Structure 1
């Protein structure tokens, strides 16, 4: 590029501005005021941009100044942004010089060619600005802005990651500009040489006048065809109908000039393929058959390009229509990803980038690019899932309607009609609407493939697994199953994929899914092994059903059948990927038809969605009572499951009522030693424990453990579960050594029987850690809790109640270890998540609130501690009662906080109540009673009540002497 370009004809003063701007060089590392220098340079370039009558140039250059001014306001991380600012300025200078050289050499009209370059620069700079702006806003105290942007731009984990990502994007952009310049030079030389040899042929139409975006794919194509000149190149663009494959290919051809002859071939059928090749032979006077054209192309050593458009039929072997030679260039557009076998390089053409989609909508709708219009357009393209054909159709309708802001309301009630309607005015020759383009593919499908697509339209559009169908194939009818008649349709579908022996045949299923993939109606993720359906195809394939209810019920049955075959740890893991599908199938309802409420409720329970589980099991219980009777064993079993869910919801009273009723009936019907009776007894013991009735819980748990040992043996999972429950009760009763001995045995056996990652093993690990913490073995507790938290995150996810519980327990141990900062950070995170997912009044939320208050107390943040403890005490009194251990614990903690705040009368009042009730409930020798005594004695000393204080001190020494 020439720095000293001649002045532009016509007296334009932009050349003078260029010289002035170049005097200010981008900053070096040694610059003392690097940001000030950057700003001076950027403003000079922007001022120069004012002199050219091209708004896109001016707009791009002005954003550079906005970026740098925003960096200037950032209080933190400013030095980290130095290299990014330098890169931004360097790439702007490259663009400025490139435009100037072309304008100087060819006049003002040449600058129009750089519109795409400037638009791409502007998009890139907008990305940079979106990253930098939250850093400035964050420094002003607006928390969480950066977190939202991180999710938007790629789930980056730190400011440094964001800055690095922007620098990489800038680097890519600079490389692309340089590569494009080289290609342009080479193409011009090639074009000049060809002009002397022969007249070239190009029967391709131009791309749509409103073509926008797709720069990444276009640059990839240019880079591929520019390498290894003289060798054969085959590039495949594949994806869903309506994704814009043909337009990308035409845009690439328009931008390229290295091809000697370009032939567009309609590859939709063998007839159109043959006709196109015959036409090539006739045009070049080399014969009149397809073979003549292929022979001529194979013998011709110029850089011809064959463009096979709409090669969608998977039954056609496209290789038969390729010239058999090692030179030439081929571009293919297809819905069939299977054509990748022919291609040297390929690109999936899917949804547009958000910024490009907005621009395309506004262009096609003939709307001004204002901020208000962009905001409306953003909502529209999001509803259209960024599919180009849908956006263009919407734009045409908006142009006819004359109002951008009315479209979404119309679309929400008339989706099928709007996506099926062909606009009268069109920007290209594409003959089909969004829905009709998929209908063409759908009509080619076999019956099993079409049925599978429509069944899956009732699931969530992502994460569809073969397993939900293969597991359903192992379903066996029971006395309480839905009837054979209700399961007839789903079973008929499943049996198509069974082999001669009745076992699931994965090959048959793959055959059917391959059909759907061949038309890009589904996509397969090789890493997860799951399928996805484009959301618009997902809704369309459901909308064309004549009997939606039949398919909906069949899919409910298939998923329910699948769940019923899963057990234990596998069911727990399966719940993570099944949950979105169950949400989609039920869509807020509480009745599954056919009746698989128990199975669906189990998934909600495993997933921590306890209220949904309770709703489903409540409906099931009502029907069972009506149909089977109140005393039927299945009815009683459902009551036990519902009691378990009530405990998770903190509804202990309702759980207790169910447990007492079930145990009484089980004893009458089955006897004292029946496994179901022992299960009901264990459930009631858990409810007693949750209600703080520790002695009643202990009595039941001792009986259950003894009988389980006799009936099932020492190593049976039910025996180990009973042992773990008794260990927890011992822990709260202050029998810490007995609790530790039992829990060590439980954990050791579960590791052998279930493995290290089983939920039961992790539960035992967490319980033992809690016992260690009370025994003062804090390092051992920490080690176990770190393992539990890591595995819960992997197995259950970050926001599952079990994961949050593990996080809270670790935070409590951190506090006891003096790691107060870590304890506070965990406590704040857990409390926020539990408030959102479980609610303000849930026992887990209140426990976390109390633990965070303890951390605040230790950090001497006494007012914050007091505020939390007052709330916790009030709610625990309301939900658990005055005598519950958790209520007394909070009362004692608040008394300590009052003492530290010098509110001694309030501390005394609470301390007296706590000591009195702990003596009554736990006895004089319990560790918690001794703690209450010491705290009250300290308060008496501070109040000057020396006699009362000394009396308590004497009593404490006597008790400690008895305990050894």
Structure 2
């Protein structure tokens, strides 16, 4: 190999080379480039070793000059490109350093053998092909230099058409461009978290399985799949890393061709695959953005049992290629750190609190967090961002920051729009329909049930109008949406879900919401009407999020679904919403059908039931008396509808304190229902249960206990232990055990019922809170006052929020907590609650109601304990006067 340096005399040629090596080594000491420092130090040792050779050192002149040229080039490139160059030269430097160390050792061994030194040097140079090895390193370094130059050109506003000309030109420039494609950029400078995923990947690729290593990172666009892959690559050590844009077949083939060209093995994708198949080094092939489900990626995978492949995709189907991880939302702590770093804000206590609220609202999606951070960095208003976002969600999630920390060109909304544009019309419509539902708990049953109704403005997928649901077609449609991770499916629950931000974005794709909203409202109404009556209460818990979000469209032509929606609101404990619908239904029915029509009377009963649940017992009673009178007049005393009205009125009278009147009605209803329906019929059991409660209110606890045990046995046998009606019977029996002083039995049942209701209905449902309050009272009876207090505080807080401060159940919770405070000796707290309870009960129920009298008696005890003699005597006189008037 001929030297490119000027010729020198045999006496001075080595001195400048040593000076150059020393200078570069010293410069490397001052910069964070250990790879350059290592190789330049090794070159210096090589030169010094040659100096110590007494004779014939000129035989090593070319080797020394070439090594000096290499480190000079390295130094120049690092100086020009900084860290980028250091990363690019890492592998070359390590290999060159190791190689030169072997040369140095060989020279020293030759030097120790003085006889025939010149001949041995020539033989060594010939046998080891030193000049060819060094020439190879020089060629590789030239290639890296070319890449760095190309990168510099691209970074200086290079035009797309000029770049295209370079890539397609049949010249050395195409090699430069191609080589750039085959090298990964570093991850984002603000990359944060994901350590568990990275650890899993390292463990996988570091394990020698004897097979090709393929790892798939899949998930929603914007979740950070590419960045995780790049971070892993940065932390790893592969002999070659090839990045292939996998978004289209053309870009895949171009990427593979670039590998072939860079390795001088041809200019085709097949040539690259053959090279990868024959090369047993630790190469990594990175297929990025393999999102198109129509591309068969298997056609582009090297057919061999070695090598390493990473695939990033939105398509979960690619999991079949190997090990895989679902990339979704970030951990909260990492999300907060990422937001503050991108926003250029310090991690103060106040900033951490503000950032927590923001990342929660962004559902911890990395791309959304980065966009938010970029906006905050520009506006410098971390405190005001959340309010701005809530009122301008679509605009902010579509806004691209001018300054970025990675190469990702799309925003949160535009990245999903790209996927949405690939969907068929049917798939797009289904996704838009689901945007009117809650983003979790979407079932195929909702649509399959609706398919049996005609006509619809949009029909769920079926091949012919037979009224039969086409499961396979629906599966095809949902699989199409799943292929872009725009919807997920839980095989265990058989339910679909949508990422909350995708859900919000999907609504933004609508040009006219009204037709689809009406359609989805009708579909859901049809579905609800088909739910069996004994399952509607449990179904309401699952459906209420959909109903609340949908904001039921209510035009005349779907008026028959109003009652279906009323059922969901009612059984989910949303009584104010149920009242609004019930009033609409009654008004409409009166106008169309008249006051005495059966549907009108049914609507009247529905509204009365809603008033009852709201604690407006007098309003409920007035309607129920009217309904009973009309049904008795029109139908007679014995038909089921008349008995239903009679039973409802009895229950309301009971809550109004009219226990004897309630008892008389319930005994009559029970007798008739037992005769007509049998004692195992659900309606008969309901009446039996209501009568038992009235017995308890009248103090006839043994009669109540006998009926409640019978109801519980029958419901357990007919419905099972976990049915809500069975749990209701269990809870009623527990209350009677408490009334009888059997507190331990009551506690065991109440703990069980509370656990099951919490699981089935949630901890905020009225029935759950009712049982929580009963258990608290039992704790108090057992002397476990602290447990009682904790539960009662929780119940009161939730009831105030859910039912309002005037609801009877809220007042009951307030009264129970007051009793516990009294027992614990906290008389001032007890007094405050008792005064409020009495005031509200007198206003809502009147002085003669048993609950009002009980409130008076409790307050008298507290007045006495506090020494408030005058207030105590005045209240005692009121109690005496009230009882005499009963």
Give the TM bin, normalised by the shorter chain: 0.7 to 0.9
- What is the alpha-carbon distance in structure 2 between the residues aligned to residue 374 and residue 739 of structure 1? 57
Equivalent pairs, count: 729
Aligned residues of 1:243 and 1:351 also touching (Cα < 8 A): yes
Inter-CA distance 737–581: structure 2 relative to 1 (3 Å threshold):
same
Deviations 1:231-279 (A, max 9, x none): 52111121222223223322332332x2111111121222222232233
Q: Give 1:756 shift.
A: 1.7
TM-score normalized by the length of structure 1:
0.70
Deviates more, 1:796-805 or 1:753-762: 753-762
SS of the residue corresponding to residue 841 of structure 1 reads coil
Q: Give 1:335 shift.
A: 0.7
Q: Give 1:700 shift.
A: 1.4
- What is the alpha-carbon distance in structure 2 between the residues aligned to residue 474 and residue 300 of structure 1? 60
SS of the residue corresponding to residue 857 of structure 1 reads helix
Q: How does 1:397-416 map to 2 (within 5 A)?
A: 411-412=389-390, 414-416=392-394
- What is the alpha-carbon distance in structure 1 between the residues aligned to residue 697 and residue 515 of structure 2? 53
Task: Report the equivalent of 1:261.
Answer: 240
Task: Report the equivalent of 2:420.
Answer: 442
Deviations 1:66-86 (A, max 9, x none): xxxxxxxxxxxxxxxxxxxxx
Deviations 1:75-121 (A, max 9, x none): xxxxxxxxxxxxxxxxxxxxxxxxxxxxxx9668489xxxxxxxxxx
SS of the residue corresponding to residue 488 of structure 1 reads coil
Q: Give 1:711 shift.
A: 1.6
Match of 1:238 among 201, 212, 218: 218
Q: How does 1:460-479 map to 2 (within 5 A)?
A: 460-473=438-451
1:458 has 2:422 as partner: no
Deviations 1:176-230 (A, max 9, x none): xxxxxxxxx9999789669989759772242355442144133333333223287
- What is the alpha-carbon distance in structure 2 between the residues aligned to residue 194 and residue 833 of structure 1? 75
- What is the alpha-carbon distance in structure 1 between the residues aligned to residue 671 and residue 191 of structure 2? 75
- What is the alpha-carbon distance in structure 1 between the residues aligned to residue 325 and residue 631 of structure 2? 64
Q: How does 1:634-783 map to 2 (within 5 A)?
A: 634-783=599-748
Inter-CA distance 524–188: structure 2 relative to 1 (3 Å threshold):
farther
Q: Give 1:322 shift.
A: 1.1
- What is the alpha-carbon distance in structure 1 between the residues aligned to residue 466 and residue 386 of structure 2? 53
Match of 1:299 among 265, 278, 284: 278
Q: How does 1:318-357 map to 2 (within 5 A)?
A: 318-344=297-323, 346-357=324-335
Inter-CA distance 592–725: structure 2 relative to 1 (3 Å threshold):
farther
Inter-CA distance 586–285: structure 2 relative to 1 (3 Å threshold):
same
1:252 has 2:210 as partner: no
Deviates more, 1:850-859 or 1:311-320: 850-859
- What is the alpha-carbon distance in structure 1 between the residues aligned to residue 97 and residue 699 of structure 2? 94
Deviates more, 1:895-904 or 1:302-311: 895-904
- What is the alpha-carbon distance in structure 1 between the residues aligned to residue 567 and residue 438 of structure 2? 19
Inter-CA distance 385–895: structure 2 relative to 1 (3 Å threshold):
closer
Q: Give 1:832 shift.
A: 2.2
Inter-CA distance 775–424: structure 2 relative to 1 (3 Å threshold):
closer
Task: Report the equivalent of 1:539.
Answer: 504
Aligned residues of 2:190 and 2:405 also touching (Cα < 8 A): no
- What is the alpha-carbon distance in structure 2 between the residues aligned to residue 334 and residue 702 of structure 1? 68
Task: Report the equivalent of 1:308.
Answer: 287
1:872 has 2:837 as partner: yes
Aligned residues of 1:474 and 1:565 also touching (Cα < 8 A): no
Task: Report the equivalent of 2:757.
Answer: 792
Task: Report the equivalent of 1:176.
Answer: none
Inter-CA distance 409–681: structure 2 relative to 1 (3 Å threshold):
closer
SS of the residue corresponding to residue 681 of structure 1 reads helix
- What is the alpha-carbon distance in structure 2 between the residues aligned to residue 194 and residue 646 of structure 1? 90
Inter-CA distance 671–382: structure 2 relative to 1 (3 Å threshold):
same
Task: Report the equivalent of 1:594.
Answer: 558
Aligned residues of 1:522 and 1:532 also touching (Cα < 8 A): yes
Deviates more, 1:905-914 or 1:672-681: 905-914
Inter-CA distance 209–686: structure 2 relative to 1 (3 Å threshold):
closer
Match of 1:802 among 759, 767, 777: 767
Deviations 1:764-810 (A, max 9, x none): 22222222222233333223222222221122111211111111112
- Stretches of structure 1 lacking an aligned partner (at least 5 in a row): 1-104, 112-184, 476-483, 922-964
Match of 2:206 among 226, 232, 235: 226
- What is the alpha-carbon distance in structure 1 between the residues aligned to residue 463 and residue 758 of structure 2? 37
- Stretches of structure 2 lacking an aligned partner (at least 5 in a row): 1-27, 35-89, 101-132, 145-178
**Which of these two proteins has the greater Rg computed from alpha carbons?**
2
- What is the alpha-carbon distance in structure 2 between the residues aligned to residue 715 and residue 889 of structure 1? 37
Q: How does 1:876-895 map to 2 (within 5 A)?
A: 876-895=841-860
Aligned residues of 1:762 and 1:788 also touching (Cα < 8 A): yes
Deviates more, 1:416-425 or 1:725-734: 416-425
Deviates more, 1:791-800 or 1:831-840: 831-840
Aligned residues of 2:260 and 2:267 also touching (Cα < 8 A): yes
- What is the alpha-carbon distance in structure 2 between the residues aligned to residue 265 and residue 194 of structure 1? 31
Q: Give 1:398 shift.
A: 5.8
Inter-CA distance 641–850: structure 2 relative to 1 (3 Å threshold):
same
- What is the alpha-carbon distance in structure 2 between the residues aligned to residue 244 and residue 727 of structure 1? 61
Deviations 1:317-336 (A, max 9, x none): 21221111111110111111
Aligned residues of 1:335 and 1:518 also touching (Cα < 8 A): yes
Q: CA RMSD in A?
A: 3.3
Q: How does 1:356-435 map to 2 (within 5 A)?
A: 356-358=334-336, 360-361=338-339, 381-394=359-372, 411-412=389-390, 414-423=392-401, 425-435=403-413
Deviates more, 1:656-665 or 1:349-358: 349-358
1:489 has 2:457 as partner: yes
Aligned residues of 2:818 and 2:829 also touching (Cα < 8 A): yes
Inter-CA distance 325–554: structure 2 relative to 1 (3 Å threshold):
same
Inter-CA distance 762–428: structure 2 relative to 1 (3 Å threshold):
closer
Aligned residues of 1:211 and 1:247 also touching (Cα < 8 A): no
Inter-CA distance 350–742: structure 2 relative to 1 (3 Å threshold):
closer
Deviates more, 1:592-601 or 1:519-528: 592-601
